[in-house]
Chains A and B, each alone.
Chain A
Amino acid sequence: MGNLNYLTNIGRKMPLLEIKNAKLKLDNKDILKGLSLSVNRGEVHAIMGPNGSGKSTLSYMLAGRDGYELASGEVFLEGQSLSDMEADERARSGLFLAFQYPVELPGVGGMSFLREAVNSRRKFLGEEELDHLAFVKEARKVASKMFVKDEMLKRAVNVGFSGGEKKRFEILQMAMLKPKVSILDETDSGLDVDALKIVSDGVNAQRNDENAIVVITHYQRLLDYIVPDFVHILSDGNIIKSGGPELALEVEKNGYAGLINAA
């Protein structure tokens, strides 16, 4: 018993997500150039950076997309190396990516998609799979909090959804899957003011001492709602500066040029 506690405590002390010197090439072009980042439980990190700096590449690499394997470096989720884990295994282990461009799935009903995803994760966690009725009830409850209409869950995933609806559906999935680490890739883009508030509230409601969130964004505005503990500037495949929320304000005011030149 004492032994177990000891192990758990070690687990708790290590970062939830740790990226060590990650290098990645796409089409023989260096995209990530030795990026390191540590994210602890309970923290929210924001990543900002110019177009093409490698933010989405970083998120795909973390999620385990084919073709986004590291050339060198390593990533750990709760101390466990991700390098040999496929995307689905990573997701079941508690990693979640809200896509910058959510993918349309014609013919795949929203409700059955969610159920398949949630039950995959529950099975992994050793929890009982939810039966249809219990699941529908749960999904509707979460959906209503996100102001996602029931009708949307009946439709094919993301098909014919507006930009904002797609983003809301991403966060709905996050809420249902209860991940340990969530990476939100420009979840704020395409959202109107009200939707931004709804989505941010949805994200904030899931913040706790056990999980962590990495928000990729271009706009300081989102960070007024989801207040980060740390802000990182990603430029040309590397984090060139880290700081507190004030760093986002600086970017908003002066742009990236000054920061990049100083680096």
Chain B
Amino acid sequence: MLHNVKDNYIISVKDHVSQFEEKSFRKLASNDFKSWPSPREETWRLSRLGFLSRKEITPIKPNLKKQISSVSKFKGSKIIRFVDGALREDLSSKLPQGASLKILGEKDSLRCFHKFKDSNLKNHPSTNVSFSCTPSIVKLTIEKDVKIKDLFEIIYEGGDDYTSVHPALYIELKDNSIITIIERFNHLSSLIMPLQLVELKKNASINSLKIFNDNQQSYNLSANCTFLSEKSNYNSFSLIKGGLFTRSETHAYLKGENCNLNLNGVYLSCKNQHHDLTTAIYHDVPNCTSKQIVRGVLGGKSTGVFQGKVRVAPDAQKTDGQQMSRAILLSENAIANAKPELEIYADDVICAHGATVGEIDDDQLFYLKSRGISEKKAKQILIRAFLKDIINESVEESIQNYVFEEAELALSEIISKEI
């Protein structure tokens, strides 16, 4: 079965390539795509892609005239819109000074491709498929010393059943620049394979919020590769709630001293959803900190996966790496898997990790009930608090309410079914 699809898919990819110019990075990428990862591959063991065999999927031909109706939730935000995986400048905002968007040419695209191929995302299916199928790689640059005050909102939408979409975005923050970016994935496609390359130059800071909210039948295999230079900050929070199968995979390379990474996330899953947060943090130099808090709430027959690798290179002394994951199962049929993976080759480091999967805390529940609050209400309070706590800790104050409302949409559905 799988072979069939693979062949189908490769044929589709090749067809698709011919729609565009025959650029070398596309060829390289499509030649490299041998097959979907097998469940024997360690990082795909808990998130299997066999489902792809049930559908024949063809990369979408972006319709550059497609009209969209989604609106921004923020007044005055700067919107960048991808429809069918292609940048739609006509539906995007004019960017403020110091920020620019551009479609990369052959040489720069090839450079991006090699960044991925040199990373541990080299065998991620999105790397090869999307580099060969993306309409174009879009680059967002924030110039040196520029502190962007406007909120940037990147909305990915469009797509169709039986098609795949391949948005590719390269974000470069030059020295001392600062920005807050909200990304929303709202596709209708069967398969979504976003690529993202982030480069933070010296002392640059990004607050990144990603909301995965694709169509309930879709599969999202997002791949993010981030490089942090000296004193840079990457503060990232992902909220996964949509899709039938959503895996957000992030690999962060801490390359300059005194940089700081927060890679937090929440998954809210119900029905038969499968949500997966896979991260790899590479401490390659001394004196950096990374912190990860991941939480999940699961109902129905859903599955949650958290895989968190932290690698501390022999030279990376004084590394401070923290990782905590916790999943709450509200239904007997839900499953949560947590797989922390610490590879520490330096000796002078502080690294802590903990992973728990379970039910609502008994002590907390009893405390609330002992105050006259019904069990049902108490559980609701505790589940909401579980998320509020991490949201407040992870995202900046001005967007906390928004994130909480977004989470609440999925949460209220889980709560009404399970509590």
Contact = CB atoms under 8 A, between A and B. Distances in A.
Interface string A50-78: 00000000000001111000000000000
Given A63-B370, A91-B369, A91-B370, A105 B364 contact: yes
A121 B371 CA distance: 8
A176 to B, nearest CB: 10
Interface centre among B369, B374, B386 (most CB of A within 10 A): B369
B385 A105 contact: yes
Interface stretch (A95-103, A133-141, A205-213, A251-259): A95-103
A108 interface: yes
Nearest to A158: B367
A250 to B, nearest CB: 33
A66 B362 contact: yes
B363 A103 contact: yes
Contacts of A108: 381-382, 385
Interface residues of B, number: 24
A29 B265 CA distance: 43
Interface in A67-123: 86-88, 91-92, 96-97, 99, 102-103, 105-108, 113, 116-117, 120-121
B364 A103 contact: yes
A88 B367 contact: no
Given A102-B367, A107-B392, A88 B378 contact: yes
Given A66-B362, A103-B363, A105-B364, A88 B388 contact: no
Given A88-B369, A102-B367, A107 B374 contact: no
Contacts of A88: 368-375, 378
A87 B370 contact: yes
B385 A121 contact: no
Interface residues on A, range: 20 to 34
B384 interface: yes
Contacts of A116: 371, 373, 377, 381
A174 to B, nearest CB: 10
B372 A120 contact: yes
A177 interface: yes
B372 A65 contact: no
B369 A107 contact: no
A120 B388 contact: no
B331 to A, nearest CB: 20
B153 to A, nearest CB: 26
B371 A173 contact: yes
Contacts of B386: 106-107
Contact of A107 (B362, B366, B373, B387): B387
A156 interface: yes
A65 B368 CA distance: 11
A190 to B, nearest CB: 17
Contacts of B381: 108, 113, 116
Contacts of A99: 367, 370
Contact of B385 (A92, A106, A117, A120): A106
A177 B367 contact: no
A210 B378 CA distance: 29
Contacts of B366: 63, 65-66, 87, 103
Given A107-B384, A108-B382, A116-B381, A86 B369 contact: yes
Contacts of B374: 88, 120
Nearest to B390: A107
B41 interface: no
A57 to B, nearest CB: 14
A87 B369 contact: yes
Nearest to B375: A88
B274 to A, nearest CB: 26
Contacts of B375: 86, 88
Given A66-B362, A116-B377, A177 B371 contact: yes
B239 to A, nearest CB: 16
B366 to A, nearest CB: 5
A96 B238 CA distance: 41
Interface string B75-96: 0000000000000000000000
Interface of A: 63-66, 86-88, 91-92, 96-97, 99, 102-103, 105-108, 113, 116-117, 120-121, 124, 156, 173, 177
List of 10 A-B pairs having minimum Cβ-Cβ separation, nearest first: A107-B385, A107-B389, A91-B372, A117-B371, A103-B367, A120-B372, A87-B369, A107-B388, A88-B369, A92-B372
Interface of B: 362-364, 366-375, 377-378, 381-382, 384-389, 392
25 contacts: A65-B370, A66-B366, A87-B366, A88-B368, A88-B373, A88-B374, A88-B375, A91-B370, A91-B371, A92-B372, A96-B370, A97-B370, A103-B366, A103-B367, A105-B364, A106-B386, A107-B386, A113-B371, A116-B381, A117-B373, A120-B371, A120-B373, A124-B372, A173-B371, A177-B371
